[in-house]
Amino acid sequence: MSILITGGAGFIGCHSAKLLAESGLEVVVLDNLTTGRKKNSRWGTFVSGDISDIALVRSVIRDREVSAVLHLAASAHVGDSMGRPHAYFSNNVSGTLSLLDAMLAEGVHRLVFASSCSVYRDSGSRKVCETEALEPLSPYGESKLAIERLLPWYERAHGLKWLALRYFNAAGAVSDLGEDPATSFRIVPRAIHAALAGGPPVHIYGTHYLTRDGTAVRDYVHVTDIARSNRLALQYVAAGDPGAVLNIGTGSGTSVQEIIDAVGRAGERAVPFIEHSPRPGDAAAIIADRSRAKELLGWEPTQSEMSHITETAIASYRSNLKAEEAKLIAPSS
């Protein structure tokens, strides 16, 4: 029996595949490589394809004897979703419905769903718990909430065993599995690209929020801690416990300016930046109450100190850079 990871060649996906494989589980990665990178899919079996292709997904589930699905595949950027809502609802909602159709047709009833803190509005200085009123500020957040809301109905109608994990802001890296700083939307890789690779300055959207330095505050979680939450969640659904929604965050916030300063310290180079007005869809602060994840999964972050996040992200960037340089100077065969 194996675990199917949709979007398994992406940032969270490849770290999760690594951890699950190292835990002794058989892994199958399904990714259309829109944003994922094939070179990071080194654990288990890789299948190129889309979650909306029901026939393909059914054949993968059947041929690889899949027993559970870790569903990470999604369009996943708040700012981008503001201008392309159709793409986000099509991929994230319609695609997930197709995946569920394929799973149920093949008798697979265990799902861990990657949701997002974007379902929340704004926490200010307090921590948000899972029972908060939900008011997504973007099509991305709305698409994630739509799936959260349909999962209990699938549990009732089809016996689906599920867990939805509201990831807060994934960051850091292991080895060379970090994101490409030149193309990433995330703040840490962008800051690394600006400071160490001569990339464009980081754009700070909003400097007058009611936060300690005026810039937006988020809860950053090391990607390895997120991967551990996925492994624990798969164990939870295997046990057949009732469906639930859990925050996966640290319970502390870091501002955009603090991220820029931390990358500058770790990389020993100042990060250039440009200040702008706030963007539509952005909240001033979102920080997790993680107590329920500890209660149900026994999960706590162990690698999410900001110094560790920035150091591992920079180490990953330099590892990838050395690999690319080695390719350039390697003799042709």
Q: Give catalytic residue positions.
A: 140
CB 45, CB 64: distance < 8 Å: yes
Measure the CA angle with vertex 12, ends 120 and 309; round to 5°: 85
Single-letter amino acid code for the residue at 116: S
Buried b (16+ CB within 10 A) or exposed e, 253-282: bbbbbbbbbbbbebbeeebebeeeebeebb
CB 44, CB 17: distance < 8 Å: yes
What is the number of other CB atoms lying within 10 angstroms of the CB of residue 327? 8
CB 207, CB 251: distance < 8 Å: no
- How far, in Å, CA of 264 to CA of 260, rounded? 6
Which backbone phi and psi does 162 adopt, to 5 degrees?
-140, 160
CA dist 113 → 69, 72, 100, 195, 245 (Å): 8, 7, 11, 35, 9
- How far, in Å, CA of 291 to CA of 119, rounded? 18
- How far, in Å, CA of 233 to CA of 293, rounded? 9
CB 64, CB 49: distance < 8 Å: no
Alpha helices in the chain (DSSP H): 11-22, 54-63, 78-83, 85-88, 95-105, 139-158, 187-196, 223-238, 256-267, 291-297, 306-329
